[in-house]
Amino acid sequence: MSETPIKEVKLPPIRNGTVIDHITCGQALNVMKILKVNYSNIDSSISIGMHVVSTKGDRWKDIIKIEDRELDAKTVDKIALIAPDATISIIRDYYVAEKYQVCLEDHVVGLARCSNPNCITNRGEPVAPEFTVVGRHPPQLRCCYCDRLLTNIPDNLL
């Protein structure tokens, strides 16, 4: 038997769809939440690799492959908030037709709610929650209204 270590876990190839690769290790299920997939609204397959060896600098990563779906810009921007190094590859007829990196902007508007219940953005006023990105690895957001650091980004995504 060969002693060669498995370099990278291979998930089954897809004909059409999206690959979200280089997800920060441990965030795959939070990305699944962002995708809002549930068993009543899908009719194709999803493969999830968790804690798989990466051949890039990140060493360990998570990866998701979704058949027959492309992601809208808002979904991709939310993914950047929990997995700032993720890459999005659009697969068409088995080939990578488009590939780009998610982008965590310096300013985040309308993607997450403030974790301070007394913040003006949580008091029924017509004020969109807004944050300044003060850290990137891992992402850290500071509310522009109450100055508080957003605790638990995954649970506060809109």
Ligand X SMILES: Nc1ncnc2c1ncn2[C@@H]1O[C@H](COP(=O)(O)OP(=O)(O)OP(=O)(O)O)[C@@H](O)[C@H]1O
Considering CB under 5 A, how many residues would be counted as binding Zn ion?
A: 6
Taking the C-alpha atoms of residue 33 and residue 62, their distance in angstroms, rounded to an integer, is: 14
> Which residues, numbered 53-72, are part of the site for ligand X (CB under 6 A)?
56, 65
Cβ atoms of 62 and 49 closer than 8 Å:
yes
Instruction: Give the one entry of ligand X, Zn ion, none that residue 143 binds, where binding means its C-beta sits below a cut-off of 5 to 8 angstroms depending on kind.
Output: Zn ion
- Residue 75: CB atoms within 10 Å: 19
DSSP run (H or E) holding 21 = strand 17-24
* 100 is a contact residue toward ligand X (CB under 6 A): no
Q: Is 145 in the site for Zn ion (CB under 5 A)?
A: yes
Task: Using the minimum distance from each CB to ligand X, give the nearer residue, 22 or 78.
Answer: 22
Whether 17 contacts 66, CB under 8 Å: yes
State yes or no: residue 85 binds ligand X (CB under 6 A). Answer: no
CA distance 48 to 29: 9
142 forms part of the interface with Zn ion (CB under 5 A):
no
Give min distance, CB of 91 to ligand X, in A.
Answer: 5
- Residue 21 binding ligand X, by CB under 6 A: yes
Report, in Å, the least distance between residue 28 CB and ligand X: 13
Q: Is 102 in the site for ligand X (CB under 6 A)?
A: no
Q: How many CB atoms lie within 10 A of CB 26?
A: 14
Among 23, 66, 88, 91, binds ligand X (CB under 6 A): 91
- Bridge-based pairing state of the strands 139-143 and 130-136: antiparallel
